[in-house]
Chains A and B, each alone.
Chain A
Amino acid sequence: MTSRETGLLRVEDRRLLTGQARFVGDIHLDRMVHAAFVRSPHAHAEIETIDTQAAAVAGALAVVTASDLPFINETLFIPRWHPSVRKVLPKFLATDRVRFVGEPVAMVLAPDRYLAEDFAALIEVRYRPIAPVASATAALAPGAPQIHAEWPGNIAATFTHAVGDADAAMASAPHHVRRTFHFGRQTGLPLEARGCVADFDSSRNALTVWTSTQVHYAVRQNLAMLLGIPEYDVRVIADDVGGGFGTKSRPYVEEILVAHASRMLRRPVSWVEDRLENLQATTHSRAADTTLEIGFDDDGRFLALKGRVVIDSGAYSFTGGIITAEVAASHAAGPYKIPNIAIEVVCAGTNKTPLAPYRGSGQPEAAFPLECLIDLVGGSSGISPTELRLRNIVAPADLPYSIPSSYAGKSNIESGDFPAMLQRAVAASGYHERVETDAAGRRCAWGLAVGLESTGFLNYESARVQVDTRGNVLVYSGLTSHGQGHATTLARVCAQALGVDEERVSLRLGDTQLLPFGRGTFASRGTVVGANAVHGAALRLRERALVYAGQLLQSDPAALTIEGGRILRTNGEATPLGLGDIARGVLPYGQFHEGAMAFEETFLFDTKNQLTFALSVHAARLIVEPRTGAWHLLDYLVVHDAGVMLDEKLVEGQILGAVVDGIGGAMLSEIVYDAEGQLLTGSLADYMVATAAEAPRIRLDHISTLPTTNPLRVRGVGEGGIIPVAPAIINAICRALVPAGAVPPSSLFKLPLTPEAVLEVIEGLGHGVNAQAS
């Protein structure tokens, strides 16, 4: 049944909505056994002894500890590191010390997960607790307990991102505003937690792993390297993946351990992460304290930006390491022309779960301080914040505008009309800078913020397009799919480039067996890099088809075209040929046969390391109840530039989902540890995310300008929807509460912003609020 017949917008939805998807938990193999992990209950402790005797006696199939691992002295392979990183990767299982609650210490194998957990409870680990480091401030304090010998002063990395001469420019700037901002620790929280099934075939020395990942090729590379199996004998399948949001964009130790166990036991092994493990051991993100100062002139032109970003990095430089810190520093100035920038970054080691990207990956962390600071400049200078943004934002006349970044080299904003988007957002939303008060004293205000999204990061993606003798088209992609709708968009890209009906195109991805090289889906790269690979392969195949058709029809290929899978003359006249006939000609015994076994083309799309930038402007209207500090959103508008939209509904879905995610991040979500480094938010009753009830009406307005960075002229849309959400909301709350001319207290710049914190601010402002309210 086609999507047209089902009425569903996406090809994949019928399978996903009728329970026919295949997630890791749906894989059941003959003789399969189950793994459970013994995880550290301590934030920081020496391991004195591990006694596995009782578990073995009770019937555990195996108990694995660090000393059993032949690769214990190796590390996961990381393709790139920032030069300042002091590399300390986690051991696969803790050897002599544990450094965060949830760090794996032992793996237990049993016939089912229930028994595996029973046996895990029988393993006796004797710990000698060490004083923990439970916050970045504590980590950097003199005399703090040291987490790693390699991290003197608990500094995992430190560097300065500099453009121009920020010190001199700041000193000579006539006006300054400076503030400190706290972005709480949060996590991406996919609905399907992590998990993998490994099946090692000892007769062939070959390994197949089904895993819930965004990066199947990177997982393959690590499995091959660490287990000593040729890469072509390792097959990694990421079939249906129930969400990633960046948390699955790197290999994890559990994938290696489960594969090791399968080889050891000669049986398939399954491990499905439960939610407690997910909140303890899947990477966290954000956790950034930023002090930012801006210098500006009498006209509100930004002259200098200086800042210090302290990231609460957790216990290891995990795979992906400090990329969020790099991105936060590189994008500290957002889309604004600030000629002098100096951002000092300190990644502080703490006894917490390691940090890695989560949707936006450093860009929400950068936009929150910057966009709030611009509103503060507005308050201090008397110039409207919208006007300040218009005066300083990169305009079409400034293009190309260079954004130097440590993670992607020198990149240009080469297209877009940012001032027009700002003006459109103001006009379309009804945004204004007044405060409205109702009879009950509740205060309503708008807030606005801008987000710059760097998309298409990490070069190269692969695709292959094949046509069979019936004219059916098969697309292979190096991407993974976890909610993006690739089966819909990639099929459409191929159909349009090749000249066939979408219904004839099917997609295969998420399997390293399909193509020798690929990367996966993360960093808003699916369409920018992946769809362009499909586009390139389909165009090549089309070109070849027309050459063959020209030979058969004795026509200039330029006088031919392909529509609905049929070869037509450009004047619209039909020919007897279809793509299937061409494919028959290319195959053995066909008239064009030159040794090919399929009518196909493979394409590796090369971005030339150029990023594609996408801007979005968010306007939020909210109401604050002054008696309780509670606030909720009344209206929300996003103006976004996705370039060419491959599917408007899917673009909108990405943005809506990301906005709701960002609303949760601004009002609810925080991973909380106590002073002993104990995780207090180990369930979804305590780690709260936004639900439908917290989501206001969200209006979307698209402006499409065409990027020159890629042939499809698309911009990525996975992350832009979350980047400016928090500052749009906080700017609205500041406007609602703080009388003009007064300085908002710093407690308003802490995410998530709780009603309790808001009430304290209201009480602190005293009559200021009430006087205005009356």
Chain B
Amino acid sequence: MKPAAFTMHRPRDLEDALALLAQHGAEARLIAGGQSLVPMMNLRLATPSVLIDLNGVDALAGIRRDGDLLRIGACTRQQTALECDLVQKRAPLLAAALRHVGHYATRCRGTIGGSLANADPASELALAAITLRASVTLRDKTRARTVAASEFFLDTMTTALRPDEILTEIVLPAALDGTKVSFREHARRHGDFAIVAAAAQHSPKDNRLSVGLGAISTVPLICRHIEEGFHAEKLATTLDTLVATEIAGINCLSDLRASASYRSKLGAVCLADCVRDAIL
């Protein structure tokens, strides 16, 4: 479990990083927290010949408010985001999701952008991103583009990110005052990969409900049936039907942790609990 030989570059700014990426193309991998990439390299499941270390690019880390938006730099550590007042206040769903991401030690190293770019089906951050209608900023040498989170995750470990692009930030709408959120996860042990996870955010101000379901299929899903069909006052009678409709359309994953059939049942329980938490 030792990685194959590689060359490591440590650019100091984004332009250098993008130039290196353009130069080395598919041979290169970006590294930030390394919590997924390094184990893959140690097992030689990944053998990049070039690593471009983003840890020295200061501009990629940081959290700031931008009007109605929250901008979180890709290299912001997960634990830093979790402990950030602004995140807790204006992106409470993200904070709730972060509590389920790995363990303290891995969160202190792992980054927000790294987790999104890795696109593990069980990623809590990916689930929070699609639920919150977040977008990501992707940059190459010449331009930047913005991609909605719901269009960013394409398949297991596959995203819309092109080999010459760097995910530089995630942009979230700031939560309104009085917003209630819930994040629920079922895993074999705390901190393990989720079997299913659900996220919900309800803002009484505009009576808007956002719901997502993750780890159940290759990419996290927005639960539109629930979002559109929801009436807070009729929730008790309608929720189970809405959840059943939502689950019925999902092609559930099956692996060592859980069969598709169990994921489907657990998904229904998790989703219903999560929505109730956010509304009641």
Which A residues contact B (CB, under 8 angstroms)? 113-114, 117-118, 121, 274-276, 627-628, 630, 668, 672, 680-681, 683, 685-686, 688, 690-691, 693-694, 755-756, 759
* Bound Cα distance A113, B2 (Å): 7
Asked whether A688 lies within 8 Å of B189 as measured between CB atoms, the reply is: yes
Query: Which residues in chain B, 1-59, are within 8 Å of chain A measured between CB atoms?
Result: 1-5, 39, 43-44
CB-contact partner of B193 in A113, A118, A685, under 8 A: A685
23 cross-chain CB contacts under 8 A: A114-B3, A117-B2, A117-B4, A118-B4, A121-B44, A276-B1, A276-B43, A627-B269, A628-B186, A628-B265, A628-B266, A668-B188, A668-B189, A681-B256, A685-B193, A688-B189, A688-B192, A691-B189, A693-B189, A693-B190, A694-B189, A756-B259, A756-B262
Interface string of B259-275 (1 = CB under 8 A from A): 10010011001000000
Task: Give the complex CA separation of A274 and B42 in angstroms.
Answer: 10
Contact of A628 among B39, B190, B269 (CB under 8 A): B269
Inter-chain contact A114/B5, CB cutoff 8 Å = yes
With A275-B1, A276-B43, A759-B262 in contact, do A688 and B186 touch (Cβ < 8 Å)?
Answer: no
Question: Across the interface, do B258 and A756 meet the contact criterion of CB distance under 8 Å?
Answer: yes
In Å, the complex CA distance between A628 and B188 comes to: 12
The 6 closest A-B pairs by CB, nearest first: A274-B1, A756-B262, A114-B2, A693-B190, A627-B269, A117-B2
B236 to chain A, nearest CB (A): 16
Q: Are the C-beta atoms of A630 and B186 separated by less than 8 Å? A: yes
- Closest residue of chain A to B263, judged by CB? A756
With A628-B269, A668-B189, A759-B265 known to touch, is A686 a contact of B256 (CB < 8 Å)?
A: yes
- Beyond the given pairs A683-B43, A688-B189, A691-B189, 17 more chain A to chain B contacts, judged by CB atoms under 8 angstroms and listed by A's residue number, are A114-B3, A114-B5, A117-B4, A121-B44, A628-B265, A628-B266, A672-B256, A681-B256, A686-B256, A688-B188, A688-B192, A690-B189, A693-B189, A693-B190, A693-B191, A755-B262, A756-B262
Instruction: Please give the distance in Å from B124's CB to the nearest CB on chain A.
Output: 16
CB neighbours of B191 from chain A (8 A): 693
When distances are taken between beta carbons in the complex, the residues of chain A under 8 Å from B190 are 691, 693
A672 to B191 CA separation, bound complex (whole angstroms): 21
With a CB–CB cut-off of 8 A, which chain B residues contact A672? 256
Q: B44 to chain A: which residues have CB within 8 Å?
A: 117, 121
Given the complex of chains A and B, what is the CA–CA distance between A738 and B252 in angstroms? 30
Give the CA-CA distance A365 to B192 in the complex, in Å: 28
Q: Which residues of B contact A274 (CB under 8 A)?
A: 1
Residues of B within 8 A of A630 (CB): 186
Point out the residues of chain A lying under 8 angstroms from B1, CB to CB.
274-276
Chain A residues whose C-beta falls within 8 Å of the C-beta of B193 in the assembled complex: 685
Chain B residues positioned under 8 Å from A627 (CB to CB)? 269
CB neighbors of A among B220-276 (8 A): 256, 258-259, 262, 265-266, 269
Q: Which residue of A is nearest B261, CB measured? A: A756
Which A residues are CB-close (under 8 A) to B266? 628
A162 to B226, CA, bound (A): 64
Nearest chain-B residue to A692 (Cβ)? B190
Indicate the member of A121, A276, A755 with the most B CB atoms within 10 Å: A755
- List the B residue with the shortest CB-CB distance to A691: B189
List the B residue with the shortest CB-CB distance to A668: B188
Question: Hey, which chain B residues are within 8 Å of A121, CB to CB?
Answer: 44
Quote the shortest CB–CB distance from A506 to chain B (angstroms). Answer: 36
Measured CB to CB, the nearest residue on chain B to A686 is B256
A680 to B256, CA, bound (A): 8
Q: Give the residue of B5, B192, B258 whose beta carbon is less than 8 angstroms from that of A685.
A: B192
Convert B93-122 into 0s and 1s, putting 1 for each residue whose CB lies closer than 8 angstroms to a CB of A: 000000000000000000000000000000
**Residues of A contacting B258 with CB < 8 Å?**
756
Contacts of B186 in A (CB 8 A): 628, 630
**CA distance in complex: A117, B2 (Å):** 7
Q: How many whole Å from A663's CB to the nearest CB in chain B?
A: 11
